[in-house]
Amino acid sequence: MKIYKAENYDKLSERAASIIGAEVVSNPECVLGLATGSTPVGTYGYLKKWYHAGLLDFAGVRSMNLDDYKGLKPDNEQGYYYFMKQNLFQDINIKPENTHIPDSMETDSEKACSDYERTIEESGGVDLQLLGLGHNGHIGFNEPGEIFEKNCHCVTLAASTVEANKRFFERAEDVPSQAYTMGIGTIMRAKKILLLVSGKDKSGILNRVINGPVTPKVPASILQFHPDVTIIADKDALSEVDLQERKGRTIYE
């Protein structure tokens, strides 16, 4: 596990974009696993900037998003396809047919999830998976539970997740209660993983992710077992994290 300490959110974003940019340059047909939420917005800002500066080319890149709400139309402004279009896709030259996200309009959950899992497999698998962290330790929409879900599945969102995400909706009742998400197994099959964490409010949970026991009660703790995981966190997010030397851990200032 590599842990980068970033001075602030902007430095975190720049560092994350440089890792994604390096992937795109070294493998122009790479499969990027992308994430929504507020944390990666700055990273997408740098990718757009470097694309416009002629440093990055996304013509051959394919993308797989982590998750989406069930039942929101693709043009719904709270849907994750809309989010990706607004924050990244419309400003770079990725081909729309190369961008993938679970089918939020598919009412048959099993079909939506098995179709998406197949799409990922047929792409050859995710080369670099970008992740944010939920306050309860969730990644994608894998909420704390009794088991690590292997594949894409339909989840009922935890009350705390609905609460955290209601800021994007007009009314709390508008937050969908269910979502489709890559499973923990789907995420762990990515060749490389990049987890971004910003803000003091995530510090306690980040400490459990990095130092706590690996448990489905803190879904992101499974990342301790991934052979190629990089965490970029700002000073605030690291304020409660024990960063003592450990086997297999490298810390970059």
Ligand X SMILES: N[C@@H]1[C@@H](O)[C@H](O)[C@@H](COP(=O)(O)O)O[C@@H]1O
Nearer to ligand X, 35 or 113 (CB): 35
In degrees to the nearest 10, what's the CA dihedral of 92, 95, 101, 105? Answer: 110
Catalytic residue among 100, 138, 153, 226: 138
Task: Name the amino acid, one letter, at 234.
Answer: D
Residue 141 interacts with ligand X (CB under 6 A)?
yes
Residue 66 interacts with ligand X (CB under 6 A)?
yes
Restricting to residues 11-40, name those near ligand X by CB under 6 A. 35-39
Nearer to ligand X, 36 or 98 (CB): 36
- 204 burial (CB, 10 Å; 0-12 / 13-18 / 19+) is middle
Identify whether 27 is a catalytic site residue. Answer: no
| Rounded least distance, CB 201 to ligand X, Å | 9
Q: What is the DSSP string of 92-140?
A: S---GGGEE---TT---HHHHHHHHHHHHHHTT--SEEEE---TTS-BT
| Rounded least distance, CB 83 to ligand X, Å | 10
Catalytic residue among 23, 67, 127, 234: 67
Q: Mark residues 217-236: x for contact with ligand X by CB under 6 A, - for none.
A: --------------------
Identify whether 103 is a catalytic site residue. Answer: no
Nearest Cα neighbor of 76 from 194, 174, 183 is 174
Residues 6+ apart with CB under 8 A from 119: 64, 100
Catalytic residue among 106, 115, 135, 136: 136
Active-site positions?
67, 136, 138, 143
Contacts to ligand X by CB under 6 A: 35-39, 66-67, 132-134, 140-141, 161, 165
